[in-house]
């Protein structure tokens, strides 16, 4: 499916919402498929909090297939036979774009906790620089889940990018107090201890909020963990082992400073309703009925705001399979809604 990985290096300063500037920055991104002659077959995919540019496929340097592999490829929902698909790692993350682990040219040391505060708008501004460098003026479909959905909300309300269709999945247009407090507790855990154990525990807490009780109950019942496969001696139940496994897996691919930086950006996102007048895109909103973090009622509210302003918006509340993480798992109903909208 013509899977490529590129790095865009910008020497143009990026002025952040905080007033600080990144004098230069890198964005790592993956592409799938081919750009047509008219340059109007672009699908822009935005990753979630802990996601990356590696949305599908597997290059030689990759250990696993991409996080949305079942969605992207020849004859899949996002069809690489017809479309040119771009997925970009946000600045501030830790997968190759400029972030806390990058070298600060002024001090010749990694930014670490001194990396400047960033926002959803900052992420999209950096991506706009990339799109300009590629001479891409039209986005056929912009799609994002969770944090990525916030980016789509912001993108479709901008006047400088022509987005034909926007798909927003499992996201919210305003801060939610439960999420702010969960993120606050996670950041507090990270400030207690610099060890990887703190990052593991913070991720375990966040992972609990990503999944549903029904999923846990159906999968684990009341089963105890085999002695031979216990991750630690204090584990009794399979569900505890599952959570500890995901915490340890996360530590191997993420870092503390990016965790703090990106959760703060999510907490601060508030969609400016006055910008709804700028939206000319056709919009699909998808929520899941078991999503604790971004419940369907938030999507219903955003849908009403869009409809009041005459935006061509549709909302579907789907049966979830994994709570908030349902956006990662393709069911028939989910697939049908996406394909119907993309092909409409």
Of 74-78, 140-144, 213-217, 338-342, the poorest mean pLDDT is in: 213-217
Looking up residue 53, the CATH number of its domain turns out to be: 3.40.50.1820
pLDDT of 117 reads 96
Give the domain CATH number at 223: 1.10.1740.110
Q: Kindly report, residue by residue over 50-100, the tens digit of the pLDDT.
A: 999 999 999 999 999 999 999 999 999 999 999 999 999 999 999 999 999
Chain segment 28-44, per-residue pLDDT in tens: 999 999 999 999 999 99
- Please tell me the pTM assigned to this model: 0.96
Active-site residue numbers?
A: 146, 291, 324
Looking at the predicted structure, is the pLDDT value of residue 167 above 90? Answer: yes
Give the pLDDT confidence score for residue 89 in this predicted structure.
Answer: 98
pLDDT exceeds 90 at position 231: no
What confidence category does residue 331 fall into, taking pLDDT thresholds of 50, 70 and 90? very high
Please indicate, yes or no, whether residues 142 and 247 belong to a single structural domain of this protein.
Answer: no
Q: Is residue 32 domain-shared with residue 99, that is, in the same domain? A: yes
In the structure, what pLDDT confidence band is assigned to residue 186 with cuts at 50, 70 and 90?
Answer: very high
3-state secondary structure the chain: CCCEEEEEEECCCEECCCCCEECCEEEEEEEECCCCCCCCCEEEEECCCCCCCCCCCCCCCCCCCCCCCCCEECCCCEECCCCEEEEECCCCCCCCCCCCCCEECCCCEECHHHCCCCCHHHHHHHHHHHHHHCCCCEEEEEEEECHHHHHHHHHHCCCCCEEEEEEEECCCCCCCHHHHHHHHHHHHHHHHCCCHHHHHHHHHHHHHHHCCHHHHHHHHCCCECCHHHCCCCCCCEHHHHHHHHHHHHHHCCCCHHHHHHHHHHHHHCCCCHHHHHHCCCEEEEEEECCCCCCCHHHHHHHHHHHHHCCCCEEEEEECCCCHHHHHHCCCHHHHHHHHHHHCC
Better-predicted residue by pLDDT, 160 or 130: 130
pLDDT, residue 320, reads 96
Question: pLDDT category, 137, cuts 50, 70, 90?
Answer: very high
Are 328 and 315 found together in one domain? yes
- pLDDT band (50, 70, 90) for residue 160: confident
Do residues 17 and 134 both lie within one domain?
Answer: yes
Last residue in a domain, options 242, 262, 282: 262
Residues 228 and 95 in one domain: no
Same domain, 130 and 278: yes
- Residue numbers of the domain that contains 201: 178-262
Q: Are residues 51 and 73 in the same domain?
A: yes
Residues above pLDDT 90, as percent of the chain: 94
Same-domain status, 167 and 185? no
- Is the pLDDT score of 183 beyond 90? yes
Query: To which residue do tokens 């990662």 refer?
Result: 328
Statement to judge: residues 293 and 247 lie in one domain: no
Indicate the average pLDDT of the chain.
Answer: 96
pLDDT on residue 171: 97
For residue 216, what pLDDT is reported? 92
Q: Is the pLDDT of residue 249 over 90?
A: yes
Measured between alpha carbons, how far is residue 86 from residues 44, 78, 137 in Å?
5, 11, 14
């Amino acid at each position: 499916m013509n899977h490529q990985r590129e790095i865009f290096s910008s020497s143009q300063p990026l002025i952040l919402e905080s007033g600080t500037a990144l004098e230069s920055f890198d964005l790592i991104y993956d592409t799938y498929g081919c750009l047509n002659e008219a340059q109007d077959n672009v699908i822009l995919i935005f990753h979630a909090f802990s996601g990356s540019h590696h949305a599908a496929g597997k290059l030689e340097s990759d250990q696993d297939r991409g996080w949305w592999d079942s969605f992207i490829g020849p004859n899949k929902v996002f069809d690489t036979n017809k479309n040119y698909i771009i997925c970009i790692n946000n600045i501030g993350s830790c997968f190759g774009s400029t972030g806390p682990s990058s070298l600060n040219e002024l001090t010749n040391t990694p930014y670490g906790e001194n990396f400047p505060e960033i926002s959803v708008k900052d992420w999209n501004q950096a991506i706009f620089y990339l799109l300009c460098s590629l001479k891409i003026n039209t986005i056929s479909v912009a799609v994002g889940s969770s944090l990525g959905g916030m980016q789509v909300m912001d993108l479709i309300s901008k006047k400088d990018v022509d987005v034909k269709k926007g798909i927003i999945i499992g996201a919210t247009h305003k801060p939610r107090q439960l999420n702010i407090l969960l993120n606050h507790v996670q950041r507090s855990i990270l400030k207690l201890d610099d060890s990887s154990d703190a990052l593991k525990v913070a991720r375990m807490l966040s992972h609990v909020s990503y999944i549903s009780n029904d999923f846990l109950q159906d999968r684990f019942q009341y089963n105890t963990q085999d002695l031979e496969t216990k991750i630690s001696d204090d584990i009794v139940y399979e569900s505890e082992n599952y959570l500890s496994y995901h915490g340890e897996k996360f530590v191997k691919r993420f870092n503390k400073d990016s965790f703090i930086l990106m959760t703060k950006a999510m907490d601060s996102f508030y969609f400016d309703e006055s910008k709804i007048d700028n939206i000319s895109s056709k919009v699909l909103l998808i929520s899941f009925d078991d999503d604790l973090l971004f419940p369907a009622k938030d999507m219903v509210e955003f849908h009403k705001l869009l409809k009041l302003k005459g935006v061509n918006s549709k909302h579907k509340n789907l049966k979830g399979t994994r709570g908030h993480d349902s956006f990662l798992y393709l069911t028939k109903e989910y697939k049908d809604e996406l394909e119907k909208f993309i092909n409409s």
